[in-house]
Chains A and B, each alone.
Chain A
Amino acid sequence: MSVLSVQSLGKAFGGVRAVDNVSFEIGKGEFLALIGPNGAGKSTTFNMINGQLAPDAGDILIGGKSTARMKPRDIWRLGVGRTFQVAATFGSMTVVENVQMALISHAGRILNLWRPAGSLYRGRALELLAQVGMADAADRPSRELAYGDVKRIELAIALANDPQLLLMDEPTAGMAPRERNDLIKLVKDLVVERGISVLFTEHSMDVVFSYADRIIVLARGRLIADGDAAAIRDNAKVQEVYFGTGKTFQEASP
């Protein structure tokens, strides 16, 4: 059974059909890239999967369960981690406390009024930070970190509930090419180890073609291609979309 199954998904904003009859699946441990020009409907698709938006049509199954009408926090409880396009952490907390919050919530102890939170799951949080290479920054206020480091913290937070599925909308937005590559490589290493499935969007075609197991392409809300790197490179429709905007694959990566 697939980890995520998106079935005939549709969403319109006013007259704009942002996502139109999109279907795809992710198998266990698969590293799936969702690409497409700006405005293709990638973020809208993500936001429906993680519960931020309710779809107008179609269904979403996570682990066989329909989540199309569920809230983000309930979807998280099903084992779905996510990072944000604009990184979001708790600015008034230290780095390790950010991760501890996710662990405390995962353990269902958020409503505890008595135990000092600073001592709860600190060890486990430090382990997660070590895995993303941020152990040294554990006790610094998270708002002081550089953007690339915040992305790593987000990753550690996203891994806190032992997810089956990781959703990452433009995880490398605003990063230098070198950093992009490092982050995606890090994600890939971490998820392969744990058998986590990943759905991510990424502008850099180099990164997509070298790391993704499979690629799906959206254009104007419609799914126009689904296959491995070679198949996507040679796909006439995909080339048309990218050349149509006056771009080659190389130029498409900013």
Chain B
Amino acid sequence: MTLNALLFQALNGLSSASGLFFIAAGLSLIFGVTRIVNIAHGSLYMLGTYIAYSLATKIGGAFGFWGGIVLTAIIVGVIGALIEIVLLRRIYRAPELFQLLATFALVLVINDATLWLWGPEDLLGPRAPGLAGAVEIFGRRLPSYDLFLIFVAPAVLIVLHFALAKTRFGRLIRAATQDREMVGALGVNQAVLFTSVFALGALLAGLGGALQVAREPANLATDLIAIGDAFVVVVVGGMGSITGAYLAAIIIAEVKALCIAIGVVDLGFMSVNFSKFTLVAEFIVMAIVLVTRPYGLLGKPQGMVRSVAEPEDPIRPATPMLKGLGAAVFILLLALPLLAQTSPYLMILAIDVLIAVIFATSLHFIMGPGGMHSFGHAAYFGLGAYGAALLVQLAGFPMLAALLAAPIIALLGALLFGWFAVRLSGVYLAMLTLAFAQIVWALVFQWESFTGGSNGVIGVWPSPPFDKSWVYYLLALALAVISVLLLRRFLFAPFGYAMRAGRDSALRAEAIGIDVKRIHWLGFAIAGCVCGIAGGLFAFAKGSISPEAISVGRSIDGLVMVLLGGIQTLVGPIVGASVYATLQDTVMRQTEYWRALLGLIILVLVLAFPQGIAGALSSLARKLGRKPGGAA
């Protein structure tokens, strides 16, 4: 690697930083004022690229391109305002988790809307009129458009900076970011302020997306990639700080560029291709910042305290009725293979449901009693699944040994990631866990020689006698029952109580000698470990594992299952997982637009049934005057 090559990559880094900055700045602004983390911000960015593409190709010429970019920003700003008015306004007072889920539902709906409008193909826009050439720099040719991008971001930063410092609107935004009560006291119409801020944030995302049109093709996967990067940038820069967002965008982009510039390095015993680990590098930067400055480089500690869902009832041991019900269900499930002779598909569905039950119950363990809203539980599922599959493929492990190793590998991952995650709470924790899951996903996706890249690992079939689906089903049933009972036991033991104590009042818990972080860390590890069982079972049930199966979608499935059943009840995740997995295998298979369908289900859930199925049933039982089975 020469110095010139390094400098050239650094310039490249600066131009990719501009896109990152636009999303992150909008995300940060919106969070500062409304305290909502808009996961759909990456989707607005993606929409920007698509709309700019259409304008540039339909209108054409310099006006179509440059005018199109401005017009796109305005259109996306209007879309943002509509989203705020129609949806977000209803959930400002809802628990954080619901807000995150609602904006995630938007991601799904927007993605399918984009698919419907523009189709599945990548769309490459025209070159920028007037900037189609390249300039010779450090002995290489840098597209002039990239050079232009390098200057756009700081220009917008300066404009924003002055707008925030000098205008009345800007002062309001700053006031609201620092102290929300004050805005009310100033007699400001809060609704108007929130809508305008959301529109401004959306406009920035749209502008960022539109500017990419001459650089990269519009692509349906952009939304999640962009939001993942933007999270990292916002966390590193500090929530609510625009200058921080710029600084962080540059740091992250430069670190990635550096990885690419370093390229393949021969370490003697093995050679490492650094350019394959850009995402991992990004994560390491974030981890370092979070450990040394938990609120980011330029962020300030925020008054993040907010009511966590509804107050929860004490947990009580299962009533005889519930125990009887559990036993009856278990016997029915044992007898299920007899039915399967007439409909073989039943076994496959039942195995999917059992895997979902383990997955959702382990997630609920940290989400409910632990109060840690992980948006990245797929990471531990993936570690279990890939761990088992690779041990079979590369080390010739027999099936049962691989199934045993799966939770151990997931445990190691959860111990590592959890150590960082428990240092944060609320939306910061949600974002960090999501980022970790994206790292695992990126690792298996980018590390082709080891994991098979996008093809995944195939040919992981169960060995006899488990090759018969009903035998495998019984194995899954046994593991599911053990997992559920074990986690339940933990929750009734001092450890589970301590986890809830730390969630209810960390201050009080510390004051009676409980090391809350340590307890939550161990809880996180236990949940990850049990989730690994689900991953291992999944790999053998499908005979393969691919990055697709461990993407962020799976994490969100888990959240939906837990909420569908009801986060405050211990049987909730079981009910939720069963209902959801069945729906997924039946209804959602029927349509190409299952994402939008799922998004709508989430929105209905968040807006209309915040207690979930089991929660609604138990409050119904209470209303009917019976003894509450609430926490059973």
Q: What is the interface of chain A, defined by CB distance below 8 A to chain B?
A: 50, 71-73, 76-77, 82, 84, 88-94, 97, 101-102, 104-106, 109-118, 120, 141, 143, 157, 160-161
Stretch from B284-292, B460-468, B497-505, B537-545 contacting the other chain: B497-505
Interface pair A89/B508, CB less than 8 Å apart: yes
Give the CA-CA distance A94 to B511 in the complex, in Å: 18
- Judged by DSSP, the binding face of A is loop
Interface pair B489/A76, CB less than 8 Å apart: no
In this assembly, does B312 line the interface, its C-beta being within 8 Å of a C-beta of chain A? Answer: yes
Give the CA-CA distance A101 to B493 in the complex, in Å: 11
- Of chain A, the residue at the smallest CB distance from B315 is A92
- Judged by DSSP, the binding face of B is helix
Task: Decide yes or no: A161 and B512 within 8 Å by CB, A92-B311, A116-B493 being known contacts.
Answer: yes
Q: Could you write out 23 A-B pairs with CB less than 8 Å apart?
A: A73-B513, A76-B511, A76-B513, A82-B511, A84-B511, A90-B509, A91-B505, A92-B311, A92-B500, A92-B504, A93-B314, A97-B497, A101-B501, A101-B512, A101-B514, A110-B514, A111-B494, A111-B498, A111-B519, A115-B493, A118-B317, A120-B494, A143-B311
Task: Decide yes or no: A73 and B493 within 8 Å by CB, A90-B505, A93-B500 being known contacts.
Answer: no
Give the CA-CA distance A61 to B501 in the complex, in Å: 29
In this assembly, does B397 line the interface, its C-beta being within 8 Å of a C-beta of chain A? Answer: no
Give the CA-CA distance A105 to B513 in the complex, in Å: 6
In the complex, what's the smallest C-beta–C-beta distance from A91 to chain B, in angstroms? 5
In the complex, what's the smallest C-beta–C-beta distance from A81 to chain B, in angstroms? 8
Give the CA-CA distance A105 to B508 in the complex, in Å: 12
Task: Decide yes or no: A118 and B501 within 8 Å by CB, A76-B511, A89-B508 being known contacts.
Answer: no
Give the CA-CA distance A89 to B313 in the complex, in Å: 14
Q: What is the interface of chain B, defined by CB distance below 8 A to chain A?
A: 311-315, 317, 489-490, 492-498, 500-501, 503-505, 507-515, 519, 522
Interface pair A71/B510, CB less than 8 Å apart: yes
Interface pair A93/B511, CB less than 8 Å apart: no
Interface pair B505/A89, CB less than 8 Å apart: yes
- Of chain A, the residue at the smallest CB distance from B503 is A92
Residues from chain B with a CB closer than 8 A to the CB of A116 are: 317, 492-493
In the complex, what's the smallest C-beta–C-beta distance from B300 to chain A, in angstroms? 14
Interface pair A105/B493, CB less than 8 Å apart: no
Interface pair A91/B504, CB less than 8 Å apart: yes
Interface pair B514/A105, CB less than 8 Å apart: yes
- Of chain A, the residue at the smallest CB distance from B518 is A111
Residues from chain A with a CB closer than 8 A to the CB of B507 are: 84, 88
Give the CA-CA distance A161 to B511 in the complex, in Å: 11
- Of chain B, the residue at the smallest CB distance from A105 is B513
Interface pair B314/A111, CB less than 8 Å apart: no
Interface pair B494/A93, CB less than 8 Å apart: no
- Of chain A, the residue at the smallest CB distance from B512 is A102
Give the CA-CA distance A247 to B500 in the complex, in Å: 45
For the complex of A and B, the 5 pairs showing the least CB-CB separation, nearest first, are: A88-B508, A90-B504, A92-B312, A102-B512, A105-B513
Give the CA-CA distance A92 to B501 in the complex, in Å: 8
Residues from chain A with a CB closer than 8 A to the CB of B503 are: 92
Residues from chain A with a CB closer than 8 A to the CB of B497 are: 93, 97, 101, 104, 117
Task: Decide yes or no: A73 and B514 within 8 Å by CB, A111-B494, A113-B493, A117-B493 being known contacts.
Answer: yes
Residues from chain A with a CB closer than 8 A to the CB of B312 are: 91-92
Give the CA-CA distance A90 to B519 in the complex, in Å: 16
Interface pair B489/A92, CB less than 8 Å apart: no
Interface pair B489/A101, CB less than 8 Å apart: no
In the complex, what's the smallest C-beta–C-beta distance from B510 to chain A, in angstroms? 5
Residues from chain B with a CB closer than 8 A to the CB of A89 are: 504-505, 508
Contact of A88 (CB < 8 Å), options: B490, B505, B519: B505
Give the CA-CA distance A51 to B514 in the complex, in Å: 14
Residues from chain A with a CB closer than 8 A to the CB of B493 are: 112-117
Interface pair A93/B495, CB less than 8 Å apart: no
Contact of B498 (CB < 8 Å), options: A92, A106, A110: A110
